[in-house]
Structure 1
Amino acid sequence: MPRPAAVAPSTAPAAKATVAAAGGQHDTTTRATPAKPGTPATPAAPPSDTNPGRSRIVRAGRGALALLVLLAAAVLLARWLVTQESVQGFLNRYPGESHLPAGAPVGLPAWLGWQHFFNVFLMVLIIRSGWQVRTQRRPPASWTPRRGRNPKKISITLWFHQSLDLLWLVNGGIFVVLLAVTGQWMRVVPTSWDVFPNALSAGLQYLSLDWPTENGWVNYNSLQVLAYFVTIFIAAPLAALSGYRMSDLWPAKAQRLSKVYPVEVARAIHFPVMLYFVGFIIVHVALVLSTGALRNLNHMYGGQDAVNWFGFWMFFASLLVIAGGWFAARPLVLAPIASLFGKVGR
């Protein structure tokens, strides 16, 4: 009589799993196979991160905490430095602002307030749409120009971003022309080399929390002058040139020019410049509100050197307009406008 076939050792775990499933249980635990004598055990794999959003928040929190610690250390160091006799002599020699050239205008004209509002309005929407272009995986709609031999389809978000860029360039061109013809350029362009030690003095005063005297109606301190100069005449052109290189307006047949200025270089410039503008806006608004908000807002939005609420309410109204533009910048509103200049589809 034949003997019953023996169950192979390799089928024993499968049989146990079948019995467990039949009993209404599902064993999801992986059992480690005992290592043979003299064989090193395989280390267990580290648990995978099941909540990447929480990890980003934790990293951001740690980064913010480290930044606060560094800032506190810088403040303590600055407060110690200003007590030193040599540093006090430096601050007396360079109080924080350079003298303006003869004939420099006093005060801020009304056109500068309007330009300031348009620039902020466009910059906020440019940064928002630029970030969406960078992070969107599936654009909500596409846009194709009507003209051209081989029209290229792009996302409606990119169309909106590039349209805002063109408006920003037009506004910036008008701004630079008005700066030149009215003499206001003398307030934001360094005219003497002592702007650099005076900027260092102003920065040291800010860090030591003994802030320099603000008189922006007449003259900015040297740190402000350098910041405005870099923003207007360096950061803005870099943003425009890198954005132009990355856009469809760049001539596709200009192969030699493309080799001289590769698109990878433009990408490496464009995003850091955007971060610079974000940082500038944050610091600028913080200083405006903390160094005499009503007077500063009157300078920027009221065209007067007074301490009253007129500039504040103009600023508040501009914030409402900016917020309205922020919430209106969605496909439902953008599609009819974009269809005036091209074809909108999926």
Structure 2
Amino acid sequence: MTHADVVVIGGGIAGVSAAAMLAEHMSVLLLEAEPRTGYHSTGRSAAIFIRNYGNATLRALNAVSALFMEAPEGVADSSLLSPRGELLLAEEDEVDDLEAYVAGATGMEMLSPAQAVELVPILRPERIARAAIEWDAQDIDVDRMLSGYQRLFTTRGGRIVTGAPVTAMRRSGGIWQVTADGTDYAGPIVVNAAGAWAGAVAEMAGASPIGVQPMRRTAAILPAPEGHDVRRWPLFGSVTERWYAKPEAGKLMVSPADEDPVEPQDAWADDMVLAEGLHRFEQAVTVPVTRVEHSWAGLRNFAPDRTPLTGFDARAEGFFWLAGQGGYGVQTAPALSRLTAALIAGLRPEVTREVVAALDPNRFLPR
């Protein structure tokens, strides 16, 4: 049996980054069900850092992550961010939503329909009642980020076992025994960073039944509109997330911004959902969708209140939740990985007590 101080379950950006931070203080083993790390949500991310995305707790995490991503010491030799911008559009029935978003945000500028069209020339001005832009939204180099954290983890003595789906867990004598692909691994602490499978892992461990819900998000790559160079366009889309589009390698990635509850799985694009989303996109722009070059789907995993779960479970000793990151997993990974290391190693968190409390998985237990 292989022993470690901490066994991390899940090799997405959350698990890999947390493992790297923990490995500075203790021995860490990471188990990943797939043949490689970053296979599911991490590898299918829209890869955009939006400081104003999410509730107050998430925005506090975003602020911590931004500082690291700009100077990712130990993970990369230069910033993981590059300029993009996010243009939010409101039709008449979405104006209140846009105004509420901007009121709770920082660093945003209201634009006229004409100004929005200057930034993205294919937009229909008659479909825009109000617009706002976050100039400081930035692309994230997810591949470089994941590989950097993984390199840091192994440099610190961590071990990654791939092709190792967890099938059983039990605790005895203060030690967790985790069975994965027929092999047993042991340690006093388990970190549940299993993404869409976090609920299943928690059930095996007898932890609190929080109810992490995977939700499918679909996307497609379209050719760039004829006569347009899209590379410097911002991400642009409906403020109520009816659709959004983002330049991607000289083409456009368009998403219906769907959130369909599904079981944990290797997600696939639903043709009907994609078609409906592309229709909404077409109504907002002056060019038709003539061809879909590629489509895919990923899973975004939410706790009931849509705030991540980070902390020890009160009902399962030594069981640590790192799950429910929703659509914020990549951009919150630097902050949550450092918080995970602080809470497990007994260090002082760099976020406030209010943020730690908001992330506590025991918030769902009866008072």
Normalized per residue, the structure richer in helix is 1
TM over 0.5: no
Q: TM-score, normalised by structure 1?
A: 0.31
Whose Rg is larger? 1
Q: TM-score, normalised by structure 2?
A: 0.30
